[in-house]
Chains A and B, each alone.
Chain A
Amino acid sequence: MFSGAFRERLRNSWVEMRENPARSVLQALGVILGVASVLGGFSISDSQRRRADQLYVRLGGLDKLNVQPNPVVNDGRPTALQTANLGLRNQDANDGTGLDVKQVAGASVVKFARARVRSPWGDQERQVWGIGGEYLATEGYEIAQGRGFSSQDVASEAPVAILGTEAASVFFPFGDALGQTMRVGDVPVKVVGVLEERVFKFRKSGRNIFRWRNRIVAVPSTLVTRRFEGDAYQRLDRVTFKMHDVDAISAFSKSLSNLLKANHRQQEDFRLDDVASRVRKRQKENDAYDIIFWLSGILSILGGGIVNVNIQMASLKERVREVGVKMAIGAPGKEIFKEFLTEALLVSGMGSAVGMLAGIAFSKIITSAIGIPLWMDPKSFLFAFLLATAFGFLFALYPAFKASRLSPMEALRYE
């Protein structure tokens, strides 16, 4: 392809392009705008999608699989098996983690209770979180002072508590919660940890939608099941698995479902929060967006291409004499054809390079205006470039053909 003749033609086209800057810029304009809009559209949608993914993950959505108890509803009296059912327990969390050690990042359990919580400064009826496993980590909490619960704490039902910032400021307004004793129900517990404040806002000036998470009053799950809301089986309200890879959830949830059923005497007394299907649905939506952007990209480049043909046809009128001169001094029609095409290829190639810069700038402006980080897929660059070059080439065919068919005598006489 890069034979000597082609290189020569390319060099010649480059010279002619520089000799006719106005014409070349006009010719490139369609490609520039087309590429900029394709790339801009793709990048903005990609950025937004990526941002949405991150939001889901941070809000506690996509990368987690929740298991909750589901009462087996029957008319009449429960069967013996149902009565003897063990329910959702710690064992389920442990067995689930064992299913796929590579993919499961952590498992946590929680058992809620309502209790009267008292300290020298506050006395409120509150929800109490009985937590176990890696609850703090999987839910995104970090310890500000003190420590989390050790496995020893959980195993021995230790009377210890961890407070969120809001709870800490209500019950210990002077910021000295750590080490103090408070009462949860009838149990005196010692505060061993205070959490970092959780803040999450869609916009800088927006509401903190994680405010409720700061209200947490956490004690070991075993303490709740024994002393507050428990039964002999130590049933739980929720088991959560956090996954490394969102795409692995759907396979994992199937095998988990089988495992739990086996653990629960073949009773479907649990409900997997169907994140997998939610993910699938979202991916389908993404496909639809992709098609829309493909279409709009092709359309905008098509528009650019039509502008391109127009400009080339208009400039062909100006170029008739030039073509006549070239033909008179010995350029055959085929050579004129190739010259036009090479020039179009060069112009659209360079135009798409400029268009990419414009597209980057464009997406940067838009994404910073709506306050999301910019993310560009290398594939969209390739796509925009190929599309523009292909169209630049296609749309040059007709003008090039017209030029190559001029008769030298008529072209020379053209005024």
Chain B
Amino acid sequence: MKPGALLDDITARALEFRWLRTALAPASPYGDRIFERIVPFAPGEEAQAEARARRVAAIASGFSSQTLDAMRDVFRNAPDASNAIARASMGDTLSDANLLELQRFFDACVRLDTLTDENAALPRVASAAVVESARRIELGRAGKFGFYLADAFDPALERARSSLAQAQAEYDAARGRATAAIATLLGREVEPNEFIVMRADLNGALPDGVRVVREAPTYLLCEIEETDATLAALDRRDALATAAAAAEETVRRALTDAIREHAAALNAAADAFGEADVLVAAARFTQTHDCTVASIVSEPALHATGACFIPLELELEKEGRHFTPISIAIDDVAVLTGPNMGGKSVCLRTCGFIAICAAFGLPVPASNAAVALFAEISWLGVGADDEPGGLLSSFAREVVRLRDLLKRDRRPLFALLDEFARTTTPREGKALLVAVLKRLQAIGARGLSATHLAGIAPAAGVRHFAVRGLRGIPNRPGTSDLHQALESLASSMDYTIEEVTDEAAARSDAIALAALLGLDERVITDAYDVME
């Protein structure tokens, strides 16, 4: 899953694209290959994007989470047989490991089809080629999951192996007799390979048939020589081993030919298996995060009700807190104001995340949504600072990114500006931001600009949204515990976003927040005095 031109690195980082990729990752190498080829739908492909999201949603609603997890297990445990199929089609003879891979892959296809139960949203993978190929190698099934080039494949193989086993037994017997005879003569156990005879223990010469490999002052390192009888048995065994090897290779060749005959169809089955893996991963994501299919609209816009930024939602859940869903309708470029920690940046990220999901043909984390496909989604401002910028200041980096963005001119653009120009003087920052918003309007971009600067919306002639903010002054916690402070803030904050017309209503609640976070009370009092 590649962002292509939809996101640059900074935007991908700000909108947690990597998290999304990981959450959607398939479980098998087949799925990985398909997943790597996935790119966002482009403007004009609205029908395809929505159709894919509907397909994912149909899988999510058509199967229980347990069934989807069982499918994930099938994908996870399926070995990668693609290399074996490729080798067969190139004319190589398959190894027994390759044949086991194929057998397991065929088993996985059949098992998956059983689980999908002819649900039309998922492809059937056990095609006729899979069934026929599986039948050809089934004789090799050893136990439930193993593979052995069994005698049953070819009577000639059975005969060759039987003769070899007989010859091996004859050699073992001859060798065993020789070893036992020498052990008796030496009056002790001897290793059949190399063994030591202590000179002090030796009465006279070594028995016949014992060869000295190495002499040391106190002992002799010996081995048992092959006799005429054992040598003859060995020759016979080696000749029969060669014949058995040839018989085995004949069977492998025949099995390889059977696979090669269906190679194209087996590759198609492997692709379908991978596609199913990717779809099931997306469906599981949809179930887990309660996503819905957005209407993919051709007019650039993003409307969402009850939208969530899942990475943050999960983080909050870990701390026993909850995410307040966001509702917003963006039909142009708008300004978003509100208190510190009121969720302005989260709102931007939520909108960006939903736009990304829609672009990849996924159900979106919202109760209801209508989203356009954008040519580019771009994040400017807070969050871009951690990009190494050499000699450039954070302001200069923002400006350079904006310059490049306008130069690329990919339309329609979805722009998310988080406190753009916050690091310069408020007067010039405001002037610059107003001009940028006018320009974005002029090129037909859509998006949101979160800012603490006052009077931006009327000056730029754009709509103005605001987070409602604190319901009164939150209680200052008795301790300096940050977790308590955040809980108190969350319970006092109204995160509702609404369009406002009264510019004077915008406020930051910064002093109240500073108090909540434990700043010295004298400083807080002075700050309120200054405000008055």
Tell me if chain B binds chain A.
Answer: no
Question: Which positions in B face A, CB cutoff 8 Å?
Answer: none
Question: Which positions in A face B, CB cutoff 8 Å?
Answer: none
